[in-house]
Amino acid sequence: MERYFHSVTLDKNKCVGCTNCIKRCPTQAIRVRGGKAQIMTERCIDCGECIRVCPHHAKKARHDTLDKCKEFAYTVALPAPALYGQFNRLDDIDVVLTGLQALGFDEVFEVSRAAEIVSDATRMLMNDGKLKKPVISSACPAGGRLIRGRVSDLCDHVLPLKSPMEVAAMLARRQAVANSGLAPEQIGVFFISPCAAKVTDARSPIGIDSSEVDGVLAISDIYPALLGKMNKLEQTAPLSHSGIIGVSWSYIGGEAAGLLNENHLAADGIDNVIKVLEELEDEKLQELDFIELNACAGGCVGGIFTAENGYAARARIKRLRKYLPVSCNRLSDAGSTACMDWVHPLEYSPVMKLADNVTEAMRLMQEADDIGDRLPKLDCGACGAPTCRALAEDVAKGLARDTDCIFLMRQEIQRIAKQLSTLRDNHDDT
């Protein structure tokens, strides 16, 4: 496993240095230097915001393709519930699942099934009083990485359970081994993802040593081929085994609603997530039992790998829910929470620190303060940093110059021009 794997990447050939991305990054992980963007990998949480706002498509996200399935003797598809919202007039999940088998997968295991199991486990842990409230969902990997990098006091509030993707992969592999008689390593388990953060989570997971997922496919990548297979189906197989609770995880508020507890909050969109975390840090939301955070607007249906508008997808899934039972899966299907527990606690790892050494960090902070006093505090982004404070810190660390600020550069040009004028006048006098 790559220690610092990132799904979000930059194509410098397409980048024109427009600075749109630097304003949207929640961890100030992007700079524009020499007319090109640069991603500070130690700060990136792979939320995909830069991909959304880049007008030149210079940011993109890595993911696997169907060709990777050829590496395995037996393959299982794990469709995220957001996949169901991509199709018009869908009234039967089995059409999608049968289409995935027609696409070449030997088995299909719904992630919504695992979501119901995770909901069941969360309810049990919260009722036992074993979790520090308010409990913060760990299902969105971008949200978890944001907390780990920015908010030290909230790490022990994050739900220490595997995501539905991981639980689904674990159960799917177990089922495939029983059905096929093959060794676990001969079976390829592929998650069909709505977002880039899940790609990162499969390669560099939080809370566990390694992922059960062998590959992550983008919904937008397989959508055309899958739709073609679905349109040609003569009959469907009864493959779906999930209900309202599991399918509702696809959009904002679905996870929280599955806890059957009204004392919750659900926030979507990276800006709103940051605001909620700031209020939590200020101890303003302590009366809540559970907080659901989704980095994508609308929840998973708003992920960058989706093929359809997130709001339309949500409406379609809500209509689809009407035909489903409340829930079809319980914790007993997985055995116990033991197989779902994190093996490592979420540890604070600040991404915006100036230095590892405290003394050096204090020195750089003072230097940044002094530099910041000379900056205009307009946060215009013309320097290639998101804020004047970020530029001051970059200058203190030797990563930029104060004259990267166009206002200081103008002052410097004016000073030099005045000196040249004085020299010319003195020369004329002689």
> Above pLDDT 70, what percent of the chain?
98
Q: What is the pLDDT of residue 195?
A: 96
pLDDT for 394 beyond 70: yes
CA torsion sign for 311, 312, 317, 323 is positive
Structure token pair of residue 21? 């991305």
Give the residue-averaged pLDDT of 149-161.
94
Maximum CA extent, the chain: 100
Q: What is the pLDDT of residues 96-149, one digit of tens each?
A: 999 999 999 999 999 999 999 999 999 999 998 889 999 999 999 999 999 999
Q: What is the DSSP pairing of strand 215-218 with strand 135-136? A: unpaired
Q: What is the pLDDT of residues 190-221, one digit of tens each?
A: 999 999 999 999 999 999 999 999 999 999 99
Q: What is the pLDDT of residue 250?
A: 97
Q: What is the pLDDT of residue 417?
A: 85
Q: What is the pLDDT of residues 229-266, one digit of tens each?
A: 999 999 999 999 999 999 999 999 999 999 988 899 99
Q: What is the pLDDT of residue 261?
A: 87
Mean model confidence pLDDT for the chain? 93
Q: What is the pLDDT of residue 4?
A: 66
Question: How far is residue 234's CA from residue 250's CA, in Å, rounded to a whole number?
Answer: 28
Q: What is the pLDDT of residue 1?
A: 37
Which residues sit opposite 36 in a β-bridge? 33
Give the residue-averaged pLDDT of 59-74.
96
Strands (E), 139-257: 187-193, 215-218
Domain 357-430 has CATH 1.10.15.40: yes
Q: Are 195 and 48 in contact (CB under 8 A)?
A: yes
Among 282, 299, 266, 291, smallest CA distance to 157 is for 291
pLDDT-based confidence at residue 414 (cuts at 50, 70, 90) = confident
The position carrying tokens 């926030």 is: 267
Question: How far is residue 205's CA from residue 5's CA, in Å, rounded to a whole number?
Answer: 10
CATH of 1-62, one of 3.30.420.40, 3.40.50.12500, 3.30.70.20, 3.40.50.720: 3.30.70.20
Domain residue limits, the chain: 1-62, 69-189+196-340, 357-430
CA torsion sign for 156, 255, 286, 270 is positive
The position carrying tokens 């062998």 is: 214
Element spanning 39, H or E? strand 36-39
The position carrying tokens 């004016």 is: 414
CA torsion sign for 375, 380, 383, 389 is positive
9-23, 42-56, 160-174, 328-342: least confident range: 328-342
The position carrying tokens 């790609």 is: 199
Question: CA 334, 336, 340: angle at the middle one, nearest 5?
Answer: 75
Contacts of 82 (CB under 8 A, 6+ apart): 194, 219, 250, 251, 299, 300, 301, 303, 306, 313, 317
7-21, 183-197, 325-339, 374-388: least confident range: 325-339
- DSSP for 273-315 reads HHHHHHHHHTT--TT-SEEEEESSTTSGGG-TT-SS-HHHHHH
- DSSP for 235-252 reads ---------HHHHGGGST
The position carrying tokens 């003195």 is: 426
429 versus 251: the higher-pLDDT residue is 251
The SS3 assignment for 113 reads: helix
Question: How far is residue 223's CA from residue 203's CA, in Å, rounded to a whole number?
Answer: 23
Q: Are 186 and 74 in contact (CB under 8 A)?
A: yes
Question: How far is residue 315's CA from residue 2's CA, in Å, rounded to a whole number?
Answer: 38
The position carrying tokens 């100036």 is: 354
pLDDT-based confidence at residue 423 (cuts at 50, 70, 90) = confident
Element spanning 402, H or E? none
